[in-house]
Structure 1
């Protein structure tokens, strides 16, 4: 087993894989993650996404922009806009963007919502253009999952078929960890960050989590979480504490975990009745104020 760890995209990563040649691929993996950052990071003024946000159209330069746009469109349409990568103006207004600001006055949500809507961009496999000015993209709700997939595919290109790739808590596995051993991944307790609520077997699948317990701050006596409803412009104050999604790949799981958080428990349950490719582990607050969990049938036999 080869074990690698490092820092990328403002977080940490941990990668394990079985390789008879015992190759250390850290240098190549770091290079891949840096290249993705140069394309998709809103924290870099020179990234492709930042340059598009300052212009009206953009011709893709890297192979990473289009796949994320395409998946974003898929999740946007499937969830009726609960996931929307044009949410950047709201993200910034609430102080979660690259420029950290503290709120000193109420946000004019009505005017900001006019700047949001994925239907206001048009794209194909070669380029993207804005159909309304001031539209800006933010892939932070999906780019980390995509990065996990890209690294996983890189390992497979090297002939590695047994691995676990984790970046910032987003995970994808393939094959067995050892003889008779499957990869086991912990789900964090949203009420006690750092402590595990449960562990799940993850077999040839990806798992990502969205929660309001890590990224939040208080201003003028109010607590703001980073999950924003792109349709209303409001911070979500729902009973849901965390949503962990299991999907064939990490980009899919990452897009839907944010959407399900916005949609809430009941709407997510209805949605999942038609999507057998997805499973969820949702932690929410019951009417008695105590934490409760909702687990799809496909996961119950995995525990």
Structure 2
């Protein structure tokens, strides 16, 4: 069971600093307590800009785009290898439900940097380029074993960026903070009066409304859902979470998957995988884990919106009546 760690230091009277900005095509909000009242916005913006130079698919000069257009890439930043390493771990644990070589499919189905028509996608022909075993890597470089393979780290990179910013704050002796980037969150320590940080879980059927709140201390929280990234064409709804083993955007009873872990890179990779695995397989998987917790919102057999929460988070999550 993953147990949230409570900061041993009693919350004092340090001032709380709040900063916000834009990164990775979304927004970020950071709050932290610092007796020195330091403003780290410039440093954090620089860190996130460097992160984009490594893993953004929307920058033609990013490392991941350079690799996608070539066969071998020698790492220029410290970010590429850890994301590949964690991806390999989750790929193996989920039997391929999470697979960053999914890029040919996401692009063909209309979710890449270039908007394409998913109805024209030849999925069967693209599956030959999907499979994490089709690349090899070490701490210095990554190589394609099969030409045509391309990486899409959008299912895990944002979580890692939250971890990186959190590590920066800790390196500045900040141990009471909340870092949120695009809805992915890491919390450390407590607020004033030893109260825990509180994060919201969005209602998947009511944009902007909350379905539940959760108390976080020493935990990361990430959420995946079919409700924030989809589009309709010719009366059909296309959702962005694709099964990398079949290439299809399969129907699922899951509406939202929130994962809790000790770091956001782990939570972010698994929330994507769980959506692909579906409700029952995810519940079975979670029953065998000691370092993951989750909160699942789904549609039951009667069409009613229901939820499932793992034991370790039951006392920390509060559902909002009639969300």
TM-score when scaled to structure 2?
A: 0.92
Q: Which deviations, in whole Å up to 9, do the C-alpha atoms of 1:120-169 show, x marking residues without a partner?
A: 00011111100000000010000100000000000000010000000000
Counterpart residue number, 1:250:
264
Counterpart residue number, 2:209:
195
Counterpart residue number, 1:53:
68
Deviation at 1:180, TM superposition (A): 2.1
Contact 2:190–2:217 under 8 Å retained in 1: yes
Confirm or deny that 1:98 pairs with 2:113: yes
Counterpart residue number, 1:140:
154
Q: Secondary structure at the match of 1:7?
A: strand
Contact 2:20–2:30 under 8 Å retained in 1: yes
Aligned ranges for residues 226-245 of structure 1 at < 5 Å? 226-245=240-259
RMSD after superposition: 0.8
Counterpart residue number, 2:306:
292
Contact 2:73–2:142 under 8 Å retained in 1: yes
Counterpart residue number, 1:217:
231
Q: Secondary structure at the match of 1:184?
A: strand
Confirm or deny that 1:115 pairs with 2:129: yes
Q: Equivalent of 1:66, from 81, 92, 115?
A: 81
Partners of 1:101 and 1:22 in 2: CA distance = 48
Deviation at 1:106, TM superposition (A): 3.6
Q: Secondary structure at the match of 1:234?
A: coil
Q: Secondary structure at the match of 1:193?
A: coil
Deviation at 1:288, TM superposition (A): 0.9
Partners of 1:177 and 1:264 in 2: CA distance = 36
Counterpart residue number, 1:32:
47
**Unpaired segments of 5 or more residues in structure 2?**
1-15, 318-323
Deviation at 1:177, TM superposition (A): 1.4
Contact 2:186–2:221 under 8 Å retained in 1: yes
Q: Equivalent of 1:154, from 156, 168, 171?
A: 168
Deviation at 1:237, TM superposition (A): 1.1
Confirm or deny that 1:22 pairs with 2:34: no
**Unpaired segments of 5 or more residues in structure 1?**
none
Q: Which deviations, in whole Å up to 9, do the C-alpha atoms of 1:222-272 show, x marking residues without a partner?
A: 100000000000013111000000000000000000000000011111111
Confirm or deny that 1:124 pairs with 2:138: yes
Partners of 1:296 and 1:143 in 2: CA distance = 25
Confirm or deny that 1:270 pairs with 2:284: yes
Deviation at 1:220, TM superposition (A): 1.8
TM-score when scaled to structure 1?
A: 0.98
4+ runs deviating over 4 angstroms? none
Q: Secondary structure at the match of 1:179?
A: helix
Deviation at 1:108, TM superposition (A): 1.4
Q: Which deviations, in whole Å up to 9, do the C-alpha atoms of 1:196-244 show, x marking residues without a partner?
A: 0110101100000000001000112110000000000001311100000
Q: Secondary structure at the match of 2:192?
A: coil
Contact 2:108–2:117 under 8 Å retained in 1: no
Deviation at 1:302, TM superposition (A): 1.3
Higher relative contact order (CA 8 A, sep 6+): 2
